[in-house]
């Protein structure tokens, strides 16, 4: 399996690693700062830098079996050999947008008191689907998001046991990146005074860092589903 460095250090942009396997699905590293697509959050893009000023552009990152992280090269590149040392460097601008949007979806969850049933976080927008019949007010959502961003709430991760999580099922929301189970502990994301839920994604350290957000669309997806789409204002 790949040691997932983004989990404890979401602000790390690069790491040294060694190539474990190369096949048509992607390049397996022993450790990586690259976040693999999951729980609605897009996979990271970036570059693997090799000896001799060679490099490989990585277009996407996905999960393999058993905790493997597969770095998917953009097409048409010469692939590296197993055992080669690399520096894995993420496209930070893109990742930081994922982190800001992902954190904003947690705020939206705190504002809208209904379960979610779909989520997509990209560098251009975030989309969250709520299981609800009531209408949503765009101006109200934008004002509440702006308030929570301006209030500069600290964000931290907390670990609890599987048993503690089982006793509090409300901590699992379907929007969240499915927390890894069976290792005895589960990762929670806490936005101080605002939201607490199990999540394995990447987030910013303070809500202030999200910046100005606008609600670009509220859509009635079905009788029981309301979709909210967010973009950055600037």
Binding residues (CB under 5 A) for Zn ion: these are 189, 199, 201
126 or 189: CB nearest Zn ion: 189
Residue 15 CB, shortest distance to Zn ion, in Å, is: 22
128 or 199: CB nearest Zn ion: 199
128 or 189: CB nearest Zn ion: 189
48 or 116: CB nearest Zn ion: 116
8 or 134: CB nearest Zn ion: 8
Residue 174 CB, shortest distance to Zn ion, in Å, is: 12
Kind and range of the H or E run holding 143: helix 138-150
Residue 133 CB, shortest distance to Zn ion, in Å, is: 26
Q: State the DSSP string of 114-140.
A: S-EEEEEE-SS-EEEEEE--S---HHH
- The encoded tokens of residue 208 equal 């202030």
For 41, list phi and psi in degrees, rounded to 5.
-85, 130
- The encoded tokens of residue 8 equal 């404890």
Residue 176 CB, shortest distance to Zn ion, in Å, is: 6
Nearest CA to 21 among 69, 91, 76, 74? 69
- Which CA distances in Å does 183 have to 7, 10, 31, 160, 179? 15, 21, 19, 11, 10
Residue 102 CB, shortest distance to Zn ion, in Å, is: 5
**Nearest-CB residue to Zn ion?**
199
Q: State the DSSP string of 151-180.
A: TT-BEEEEEEEHHHHHT-GGG--TTSPPPP
90 or 126: CB nearest Zn ion: 126
Is residue 233 within 8 Å of residue 214, measured between CB atoms?
yes
Between CA 9 and CA 228 the distance in angstroms is 29
Residue 148 CB, shortest distance to Zn ion, in Å, is: 15
């Amino acid at each position: 399996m790949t040691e997932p460095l983004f989990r404890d250090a979401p602000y790390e942009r690069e790491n040294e690693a060694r190539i474990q396997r190369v096949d048509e699905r992607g390049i397996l590293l022993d450790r990586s700062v690259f976040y693999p697509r999951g729980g609605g959050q897009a996979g990271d893009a970036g570059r693997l830098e090799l000896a001799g000023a060679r490099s490989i552009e990585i277009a996407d990152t996905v999960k393999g079996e058993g905790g493997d992280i597969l770095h998917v090269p953009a097409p048409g590149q010469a692939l590296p050999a197993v055992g080669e040392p690399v520096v894995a460097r993420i496209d930070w601008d893109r990742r930081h947008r994922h982190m800001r949007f992902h954190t904003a979806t947690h705020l939206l969850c705190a504002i809208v008191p209904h379960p979610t049933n779909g989520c997509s976080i990209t560098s251009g927008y975030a989309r969250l689907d709520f299981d609800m019949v009531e209408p949503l007010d765009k101006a109200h959502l934008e004002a509440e998001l702006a308030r929570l961003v301006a209030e500069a709430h600290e964000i931290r991760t907390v670990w609890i046991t599987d048993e503690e999580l089982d006793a509090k099922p409300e901590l699992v929301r379907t929007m969240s990146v499915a927390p890894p189970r069976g290792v005895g502990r589960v990762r929670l994301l806490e936005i101080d005074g605002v939201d607490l839920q199990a999540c394995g994604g990447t987030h910013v350290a303070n809500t202030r860092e999200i910046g100005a957000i606008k609600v670009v669309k509220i859509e009635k997806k079905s009788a029981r589903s309301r979709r909210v789409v967010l973009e950055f204002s600037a």
